[in-house]
Every structure is written in structure tokens, then in C-alpha cells.
Amino acid sequence: MNTTARKLRSSATAAGAGLLLAATGAVLAPGATAAPAESEPPALAVSTAAPAEIGLAGQPVGFTTTASNIGTHDTSSARLIYHVDGGEGLPSNAVSLQYRLSGKAWKTVSLTLTGTQFSGELPETFPLAAGQARTVQLRLGLPMGTPHNGDSNGGTDQLKLTTLVSYGASGAANDTDEDTVKVGALSTRLSGVPATATAGGPGVSFQATVSNPTASAYENVTDVLFTSRDATVQKLRSGTWKTLEPITDSAEPDVYGFDIIGKDAAMAPHSSTSVKVRVTYREGAAGGKTTVHPCVFVNEGSIPFTGSTFCGASASLTLKAAAFSTATPTASATPTASATPSATTTVPTATATASGMTTQLAETGSGGVSATAVSAAGLVTAGAGALGFTTLRRRRTRA
């Protein structure tokens, strides 16, 4: 009944307006009609073709969002808003979002972290006529910091990407699209490590490999082999063995690392690089267990062994004193866990090493349960011919 009354009043008002125009001699342009007192809102829809996967600490991966006006009324200011949720394991500098509406230049979407959610809106709006659609190019990344200033405080297995479309200065969202983006990471491994080596004897050779299984390109990648202070490390390049300089940090002088693929290397998506390594132990080195251990750093800073860090499984060798050596060892051993718990990286995690190799971080799961995930690695100490390893702690978010 109320609806009928409103319709009758609206009809009466329109009729009265027509009589008034006729009485005053007002003439409308051909084909024109009187504008309604309040224009109808547009009906907008949104669809995002999100990337299937990106790499933790890698470069951004492109995707698109299409905004459509499925109604009969135009809008002069369509807006796109994004939320990215990676759980409790990401620092404030973890996520990046870029866009371009036209041209070749990428522009930054400013993101604000509230709780576990990064939120931002394209700083540009665009008109969208009735029945029309517009596709915007974007790039999503998890840089975990900036070049040569990588943050290793955290990680995640996936991102929840939510896209909202709206119009006007502060209109509510007309439509929402939700996507899940998997997060991968670099991995590093050793293969063919012999079971034994001889102090003062010939070097032992094996393969070191860094793999990028993700859709992200990587820059500023440094793969480091940690081993004993009694060791000399060489890599095979163009058929010649090149001796590598040991790298140490004044805060952790017993940590000996060797850059085995070169500092600040680049890796394409879905690629890997391998190098043959030879390790020789000096004569007089005490016998016993010794360990070689690989870690890959992204955006390593001025302090060695910092940045976003991913460690592989260590391998142990038995170091024989020269007096007891009768032949060059040929036995092969599968890489095993180090003296402290170690694991090949199965989920993307970054190891905190802000002051050398001993920083410890608690893991916080998405349910708020605190735990500690232990990753490979090493403070090398002398004594009894063995290598002792203090652990690198890493934090990640459970799926």
C-alpha cells in the first residue's frame, strides 16, 4: 500500500511538472527528458586473475583485475581496493603491490598493515560506462624488505588476496573477488658428498645446487657453503679450480662461509644453477666428524650472512688424520641432518641472522600457538676435530 501511494505521488508530481513547463512555455531540446531528482547507482562487478604462486623474497609476479559495469548507469570514478592476508608470520615490509592503468611505468599501491592484513587502494579512479569493462595490470610480490636489506623475520605458505570494486568517494563495495596465492621459496642442496676426507690429503668434490621453483624471478642471490676453518674451498669454473676467499663476520669470527655461485646472482623463474665444489682439509686438522652446510641469502646486506635466508640439509664427513689414511676415500654419503635439528626447506621460511648466525626467533602459528622451528646452521667451533653448530631459528606461519 505504501508503495502504491509513493507511485501515485510520483506520478502526480511528474504530471504537475509537465503542466508547469507547458504553462511557462519552457521547451526541452529534442530527445531530452527531465533529469531525475536522484540518479541511480551503477552496478559494478570485479574479477581478478591472481597469480598461482609467488616466491618469498622474490620479484613481483604480474596479474590482472577486470572491473565491469553490468548496470545501466555510468560511473565516473570506479575504485579498486585490495587486501592481502599472509597470517601472523609476515613483517610490515613483506608485501608489495604495483599497478598501471596505462603506459609502461609501474606505480606503487601504498599498503597499510593492520593485524595480519595488508590493505591498499589504487590511488587512481577511472570512469566506467554502463555495459563497459576495464582491465588493470598489477604485480604482487613478497620482497621481505628492500635490495641489500632483506628481512628474514618471518614467512608464509600462502596469501589470501581479496579484491573489492566500488565507486564514488566512499561508497561500499559493489563486488568482491577472493583468491589464494601459494608462496614458494628458493632451495639449496648438496649432492654426492663423500663419507670421508683426509686431513692433508686430496680434496673431496661434490655438487651444490640452488633451485628456484617459483614464478618469481630472484635478484641479489648469494649461495654460501659453511664449513670448517681448517678447510679450503674451490669451485670449478671453465675447467679450472678457483680458490674462494672465506667470509667471516666480526660478530661471529668462527663462522666461515664461502660464496659458491658468486654474490648477488640473478635467477629466472623455474630455474636452477649448479656448481662443482672441492673441499680440502689442511694437514694437522684433528680427525672426527665435520660438516658442510648450504644456505642461500637474498638481499644480503653489508653484514655477512644476513638477509632473507633459506638453508638446506647439511652433510657430515668423517675427517681422517693423514697418518691413518691409506687411500683416497670414494664412498658416497647422502646428506644428513646436522648435529642440531635441520630440515630441507619444505615451506618458505626466512631465517633471522641479524648479528651473525645465532639469532633466535619464536615461531607463531596462525592459531597463536608459539613454537620454534629449527633450521640448519652454523657457528663453527674448533675442538676434537668436530664442528659444533649453534642453530639458526626461523619463524613461519602455518598453513
Shared domain for 221 and 322, answered yes or no, is yes
- At a CB cut-off of 8 Å and minimum separation 6, what does 77 contact? 125, 126, 127, 167, 168, 169
Evaluate whether residue 3 is within a structural domain: no
pLDDT at 323: 58
Shared domain for 194 and 172, answered yes or no, is no
CB atoms within 10 A of CB 162: 18
Shared domain for 100 and 114, answered yes or no, is yes
Q: Are 106 and 99 in contact (CB under 8 A)?
A: yes
**Is residue 346 pLDDT above 80, yes or no?**
no
Picking from 123, 151, 184, the residue at the C-terminal end of a domain is 184
Cell of 62: 604480474
- Residues 58-76, mean pLDDT to the nearest whole number: 97
Picking from 156, 184, 212, the residue at the C-terminal end of a domain is 184
Query: Which DSSP string corresponds to 29-46?
Result: PTT--PPPSSPPPP-EEE
Cell of 327: 687411500
Evaluate whether residue 27 is within a structural domain: no
Q: Residues 10-48: pLDDT tens digits?
A: 343 444 444 333 333 333 334 334 434 336 789 999 999
pLDDT at 96: 98
**pTM for the full predicted model:** 0.74
Shared domain for 75 and 114, answered yes or no, is yes
Alpha-carbon radius of gyration of the chain: 31
Residue type, 87: G
> CA 233, CA 231: separation in Å to the nearest integer?
6
Shared domain for 252 and 359, answered yes or no, is yes
pLDDT at 172: 82
Cell of 385: 676435530
Shared domain for 51 and 104, answered yes or no, is yes
Residue 244's alpha-carbon distances to 143, 186, 226, 232, in angstroms, are 29, 23, 12, 8
Evaluate whether residue 29 is within a structural domain: no
Evaluate whether residue 39 is within a structural domain: no
Shared domain for 57 and 194, answered yes or no, is no
Q: Residues 361-396: pLDDT tens digits?
A: 223 333 322 222 223 222 222 222 222 323 332 322
Evaluate whether residue 36 is within a structural domain: no
Shared domain for 69 and 154, answered yes or no, is yes
pLDDT at 39: 66
Evaluate whether residue 4 is within a structural domain: no
Domain range enclosing 112: 44-184
Shared domain for 208 and 122, answered yes or no, is no
Shared domain for 180 and 191, answered yes or no, is no
**Is residue 278 pLDDT above 70, yes or no?**
yes
Evaluate whether residue 64 is within a structural domain: yes
Shared domain for 164 and 225, answered yes or no, is no
**Is residue 128 pLDDT above 90, yes or no?**
yes
- For the chain, the domain total comes to 2
pLDDT at 187: 97
Q: What is the CATH number of the domain that holds 389?
A: 2.60.40.10
Picking from 158, 184, 210, the residue at the C-terminal end of a domain is 184
pLDDT at 5: 37
> CA 241, CA 119: separation in Å to the nearest integer?
51
pLDDT at 267: 98
Mean pLDDT for all residues in the chain: 78
Shared domain for 148 and 168, answered yes or no, is yes
Evaluate whether residue 58 is within a structural domain: yes
Residue 314's alpha-carbon distances to 221, 225, 263, in angstroms, are 19, 10, 21
